[in-house]
Structure 1
Amino acid sequence: MYQITCSIVTYNTKLDELQKAIESFLNTDLNVQLYISDNSPTDDLKEFIKKFDDERVNYIFNNKNGGYGWGHNQIIKKVIEKSNYHLILNPDIYFKRGVLEELFSYMEKNENTGNIMPMVRYPNGEIQYLCKRIPSPKDLFLRKFCPIKSIIEKNNLKYEMRETEYNQIMNVPILSGCFMFIRTRVFEKVGLFDERYFMYMEDFDLSRRIHEKYKTIFYPNVEIIHAHAKESFKNRKMAKIHLKAAIKYFNKWGWLFDRKRSAIS
């Protein structure tokens, strides 16, 4: 039984970023296994992965791009009975030795916690406000389409829980999918990623399903760096994908009437 398994989904990923993510995860004495789930059109990445020459690194070529959640599900299905915890990790994240150990220790001591996320910062040290209340259509569409920055910032104060100052351990309804440290048995209770989402919102969907049955903890005592590019804010194609995902999300959970959103708002 592995203490931690990890999946990184790639699609024509920048190799320098991926290398930092891989090295960060492997820099531990815990019993770990890493799986690269490659959604790219070719398996060129295989040669790069071989350079690590580490039996803890496994390369899986999926031979199609089924989406972000689908790519992770290919790995979760393989490890669900082989590990105590599974880390969903973006390829543009890196962190220092000790982060995994502290998160592992917290989860071992808090069996009612299903998912935990550390403090996430940009490379320049600024906080990424990735703790969120359950979104309403207004929360998402203001961020995408409102031209008035002050209105967006006012809405984000509540939506992104900024009033907490991100300086305390919190049970948060929605945690980002860039780094999800999940108790593996949770998947048996709540299911895997919903593969109807190609990209975006699949983490919101999974996070709130976990939150219904377990605590989903923001843990600011350790931190990671996320070289986040917000592609859907810059790229028209990605913006369309994000919009379609948001529509699927609200069709599933409710537009004006989302009972669980109202209950914890």
Structure 2
Amino acid sequence: MTGCIVLYKNNEKVLKESIDSFLSSTKVERLYLIDNSPTDLLRSISIDSRVEYIHNPSNPGFGAAHNIAINAALKSGGDYHVVLNPDVYFEGEIIYELMNYMESSPVVGNVMPKVLYPDNSIQYLCKLLPTPYDWIGRRFNPFKKMVEKRNKTFELRFSNYNKEMEVPYLSGCFMFLRLSAIEKVGGFDEGIFMYGEETDLCRRLIDGGYKTIFYPKVLIYHHFEKGSHKSWRLTKIGVKSAIYYFNKWGWFFDKRRKEINRDTLTKLGM
């Protein structure tokens, strides 16, 4: 079992909490810290022998940095790899529980637990495959009631997030990946600098014959800063990523997206 956190000028206290959460599991053999920061000030953030720190100041992006660790994990011959955000924390025992779940469900390529804010309120991180409105229009729509109505379906809020679900778009804050599946479909698309790379990967896993599952029997906490909503620079990065994604998969005419989303809603009884 390996994992990776991509760093960029992180708050050390929050980052340390995430690192310690993952390392608290005895199942963990290696944690890669891929640091895209201009300097290596975070090099000594952990002295655990299982941590491998790699400074990558060229900052190729979130997915590209994670691919460095994924490629190393594939060479190590492990079965599972966890993609972690630097602002998540949890009890180490969930790693064991998710590993058991994957062992009993060989068709699952990616599983995400229930994700809560630190105040215990739920984060709606299960989504349908996005349309251009979902990723671009919804962000700038001033009519809140229209946005809320779409969120009920797009973010699967009607499901109440209280049962196991097949979900085509799971958050990248915590991805428990089957390495044999990643070997088959490939890692993150490095054409996406940041935002949406997990959507692309989930979609390729589905097309590769794997399931992407929301598993609410275990939970994690996520500070979830929503950086793209607070920074114009990050908003531009998000829009650029969306354009890349839709150029790749299709904008308004995407037959496969319709099929996957329809099947998802049908299975959930909507």
Question: TM-score category by the smaller chain?
Answer: over 0.9
Deviation of 1:31 after TM superposition, in Å, equals: 4.2
Aligned residues: 259
**Identical pairs, percent:** 48
In the other structure, the counterpart of 1:235 is: 231
2:119 to 96, 115, 124: 124
User: How far apart in 2 are the matches of 1:207 and 1:229?
Assistant: 22
1:61 has 2:50 as partner: no
Gaps of 5+ in 1: none
1:154 has 2:149 as partner: yes
1:220 has 2:213 as partner: no
User: How far apart in 2 are the matches of 1:192 and 1:31?
Assistant: 20
In the other structure, the counterpart of 2:191 is: 196
Deviates further, 211-220 or 27-36: 27-36
Deviation of 1:208 after TM superposition, in Å, equals: 1.0
Q: How does 1:101-120 map to 2 (within 5 A)?
A: 101-120=96-115
Deviation of 1:32 after TM superposition, in Å, equals: 2.3
For the residue of structure 2 that corresponds to 1:80, the secondary structure is: helix
In the other structure, the counterpart of 2:88 is: 93
1:184 has 2:169 as partner: no
Q: 8 Å contact 2:16–2:45 — kept in the other structure? A: no
Q: 8 Å contact 1:6–1:34 — kept in the other structure? A: yes
In the other structure, the counterpart of 2:20 is: 23
Q: 8 Å contact 1:84–1:183 — kept in the other structure? A: yes
In the other structure, the counterpart of 2:31 is: 34
Deviation of 1:234 after TM superposition, in Å, equals: 1.2
1:43 has 2:40 as partner: yes
Per the normalisation by structure 1, the TM-score is 0.95
Per the normalisation by structure 2, the TM-score is 0.94
In the other structure, the counterpart of 1:144 is: 139
1:26-77 alpha-carbon deviations (Å, 9 max, x no partner) = 111214210100011111211333xxx3211111111310000011011111
1:165 to 150, 160, 163: 160
Q: 8 Å contact 1:175–1:203 — kept in the other structure? A: yes
For the residue of structure 2 that corresponds to 1:47, the secondary structure is: coil
Q: 8 Å contact 2:64–2:188 — kept in the other structure? A: yes
For the residue of structure 2 that corresponds to 1:91, the secondary structure is: coil
* Cα RMSD for the two superposed structures: 1.0
User: How far apart in 2 are the matches of 1:138 and 1:44?
Assistant: 40
The amino acid of 1:168's aligned partner reads: K
Deviation of 1:249 after TM superposition, in Å, equals: 0.6
Gaps of 5+ in 2: 262-270
The amino acid of 1:34's aligned partner reads: L
1:97-137 alpha-carbon deviations (Å, 9 max, x no partner) = 31111100000111011100000011111111111111111
The amino acid of 2:83's aligned partner reads: I
User: How far apart in 1 are the matches of 2:92 and 2:83?
Assistant: 18
Stretches of 4+ aligned residues off by more than 4 angstroms: none
For the residue of structure 2 that corresponds to 1:63, the secondary structure is: coil
User: How far apart in 2 are the matches of 1:158 and 1:63?
Assistant: 40
1:219-245 alpha-carbon deviations (Å, 9 max, x no partner) = 000100000011111111100100111
User: How far apart in 1 are the matches of 2:101 and 2:44?
Assistant: 36
In the other structure, the counterpart of 1:207 is: 202
User: How far apart in 2 are the matches of 1:248 and 1:42?
Assistant: 29
For the residue of structure 1 that corresponds to 2:172, the secondary structure is: coil
